[in-house]
């Protein structure tokens, strides 16, 4: 009988690598997705036809009980979380509900449905925070320095508690470092050669109709569309000649780079798109571009490249309603008044510093950017290759006895080292391009994070196969291919 694994967070970096690995081992793989989320299938698109995707929510224990009863997995890998450390400062309660209490709900669902299910919890080196010893090992006391780290400590200890109290085969792996707009927002689309300006909600409704959208440099095919109910916050950006409202995590492209909408500040300059080549746009569509999309309609016409895009107002406010997103081949589209260029979010997201560096290098090589804005260059991390780490996750659940293990390289490097390797890979001097932006400095930075993987090596027989120089080269090469592909699509 084929073994069956359930992965939460399957569309993330680690989830996609783990799904690949388990399929190679002959597993049936079930991926749990939140019904209300904007799902980006980019990381699993190449294996999606081999997966069973089901809906469930770490905020709702009943939904997890139903997922377990209907799919009967033999192993559960809990990788889902609010995993962006910086965001945990602005959304500490949501981080706790998902990253901490979500673990309890899943463990309790396993206890109720089938206590024989083996469980893996993705713990994090962020739990060590203000480190008590170097290197950090399984017995090192925790001292988290962010709401995310605190939530991960809870998730870790509740896993230990259920293991000891109910006899569950529950293990934790302490691994070291290894978006959307309201439906009225106008976008420029092309269907059957005809250009129009329509609300994104209209563009997202019909998934069967071939559609292209203007992304700021050219027409790009829409590969997926989603509409979901959002209860939380939105960010309204108002700039000279432009305005857009979106979820806080939605990546907005600036004149000097890119960042989540929640990190944009007054004085920043949005990258605004020129209009497409002259084409037939009806008066109704033009009116939408001049006045549609909530706050997006309160200022100015569709001014295009002439509008400077300097932000004068950033407002966070409660939002309860539908949100829409378009997934495109180029990875972005232009939306809102003034056609603000935004991302539709390779496997590590751009909000993580390692991917931000590799992608920034690729854009600089392509001549699209000159500088890369980063936070603390002296932060020390133990970086490894995610594909190596998912093998350790699997090995933990193959042991007779559950336990906790550190997954790390045992070597530490600074963000500055990562920059030197990434820029050096393409023959550039990092000092010529990297600038420090205090907005990316954490309120409380962690100390030197370096793990001791000796226990995992001795008991699991785990070995890493990719070192940091090779990992950096792989990431930069992947982003070079991505950016060149985007350029080819734009012609």
**Contact (Cβ atoms closer than 8 angstroms) between residue 104 and residue 377:** no
Closest of 172, 181, 161, 14 to residue 83, by C-alpha: 14
Facing residues of 196 across strands?
Answer: 189
* Structure tokens that stand for 359 in this block: 């992608």
Facing residues of 190 across strands?
Answer: 195, 212
CB atoms within 10 A of CB 281: 18
CA-CA distance, 456 to 167, in Å (whole number)? Answer: 22
CB atoms within 10 A of CB 36: 15
**Contact (Cβ atoms closer than 8 angstroms) between residue 79 and residue 12:** yes
Closest of 182, 189, 86, 168 to residue 119, by C-alpha: 168
Q: Given 124, 226, 236, 345, which residue is catalytic?
A: 124
CA-CA distance, 365 to 327, in Å (whole number)? Answer: 25
Go through 441-461 and write b for each residue having 16 or more CB atoms within 10 A of its CB, e for each that does not.
Answer: eeeeebbbbbbbbebbbeebe
CA distances from 96 to 83, 102, 148 (A): 11, 8, 8
Q: Which helix H or strand E contains 164, and what residues bound it?
A: helix 147-166
Please give the full DSSP string across 332-388, using - where no structure is assigned.
EEEETBTTEEEE----S-TTSHHHHHHHHHHHHHTTS-S-EEES-TT-EE----HHH
Q: For residue 234, indicate whether it is catalytic.
A: no
Residue 335 neighbours by CB under 8 Å, 6+ apart:
181, 185, 186, 187, 200, 244, 293, 342
Residue 345 neighbours by CB under 8 Å, 6+ apart:
40, 179, 249, 250, 251
Q: Given 126, 249, 262, 486, which residue is catalytic?
A: 126
Q: Running DSSP on this structure, what letter comes out for residue 472?
A: H
CB atoms within 10 A of CB 381: 23
Q: What are phi and psi of 161, to 5 degrees?
A: -60, -45
* Structure tokens that stand for 232 in this block: 């939380």
Q: Given 148, 162, 385, 405, which residue is catalytic?
A: 148
- Sign of the alpha-carbon torsion through 205, 208, 210, 212: positive
Q: For residue 228, indicate whether it is catalytic.
A: no
CA-CA distance, 382 to 449, in Å (whole number)? Answer: 6
Q: For residue 126, indicate whether it is catalytic.
A: yes
CA-CA distance, 106 to 486, in Å (whole number)? Answer: 40
**Contact (Cβ atoms closer than 8 angstroms) between residue 298 and residue 238:** yes
**Contact (Cβ atoms closer than 8 angstroms) between residue 37 and residue 228:** yes
Which residues are catalytically annotated? 124, 126, 148
């Amino acid at each position: 009988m084929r073994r069956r694994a359930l992965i939460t967070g399957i569309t993330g970096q680690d989830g996609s690598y783990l799904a690949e690995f388990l399929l190679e081992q002959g597993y049936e793989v079930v991926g749990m997705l939140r019904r209300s989320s904007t799902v980006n299938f980019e990381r699993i698109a190449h294996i999606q036809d081999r997966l069973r995707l089901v809906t469930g929510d770490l905020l709702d224990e009943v939904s997890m009980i139903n997922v377990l009863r209907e799919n009967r997995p033999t192993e559960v890998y809990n990788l889902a979380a609010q995993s962006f450390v910086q965001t945990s400062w602005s959304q500490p309660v949501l981080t706790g509900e998902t990253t901490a209490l979500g673990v309890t709900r899943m463990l309790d669902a396993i206890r109720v449905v089938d206590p024989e299910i083996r469980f893996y919890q993705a713990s994090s080196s962020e739990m060590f925070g203000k480190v008590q010893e170097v290197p950090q090992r399984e017995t090192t006391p925790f001292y988290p320095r962010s709401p995310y780290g605190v939530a991960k400590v809870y998730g870790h200890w509740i896993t230990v508690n259920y293991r000891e109290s109910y006899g569950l085969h529950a293990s934790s792996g302490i691994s070291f470092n290894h978006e959307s707009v309201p439906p009225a927002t106008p976008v420029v689309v092309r269907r059957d050669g005809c250009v129009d300006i329509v609300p994104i909600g209209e563009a997202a409704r019909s998934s069967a109709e071939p559609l292209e959208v203007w992304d700021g440099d050219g027409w790009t095919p829409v590969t997926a569309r989603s509409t979901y109910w959002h209860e939380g916050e939105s960010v309204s950006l108002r700039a000279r000649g432009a305005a857009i409202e979106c979820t806080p995590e939605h990546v907005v492209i600036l004149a000097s780079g890119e960042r989540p909408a929640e990190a944009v500040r007054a004085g920043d300059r949005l990258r605004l798109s020129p209009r497409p080549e002259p084409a037939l746009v009806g008066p109704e569509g033009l009116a939408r571009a001049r006045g549609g999309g909530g706050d997006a309609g309160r200022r100015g016409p569709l001014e295009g490249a002439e509008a400077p895009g300097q932000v004068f107002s950033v407002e966070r406010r409660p939002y309860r309603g539908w949100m829409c997103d378009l997934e495109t081949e180029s990875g972005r589209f232009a939306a809102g008044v003034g056609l603000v260029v935004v991302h539709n979010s390779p496997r590590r997201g751009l909000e993580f510093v390692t991917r931000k560096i590799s992608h920034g290098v690729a854009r600089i090589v392509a001549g699209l950017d000159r500088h890369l804005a980063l936070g603390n260059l002296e932060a020390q991390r133990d970086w490894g290759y995610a594909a190596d780490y998912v093998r350790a996750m699997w090995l933990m659940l193959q042991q007779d006895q559950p336990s906790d293990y550190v997954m790390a390289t045992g070597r530490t490097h600074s963000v500055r080292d990562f920059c030197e390797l990434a820029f050096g890979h393409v023959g550039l001097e990092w000092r010529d391009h990297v600038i420090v932006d205090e907005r990316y400095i954490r309120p409380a930075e962690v100390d030197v994070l370096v793990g001791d993987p000796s226990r995992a090596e001795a008991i699991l027989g785990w070995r890493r196969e990719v070192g940091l120089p090779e990992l950096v080269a792989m990431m930069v090469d992947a982003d070079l291919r991505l950016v060149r592909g985007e350029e080819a699509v734009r012609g």
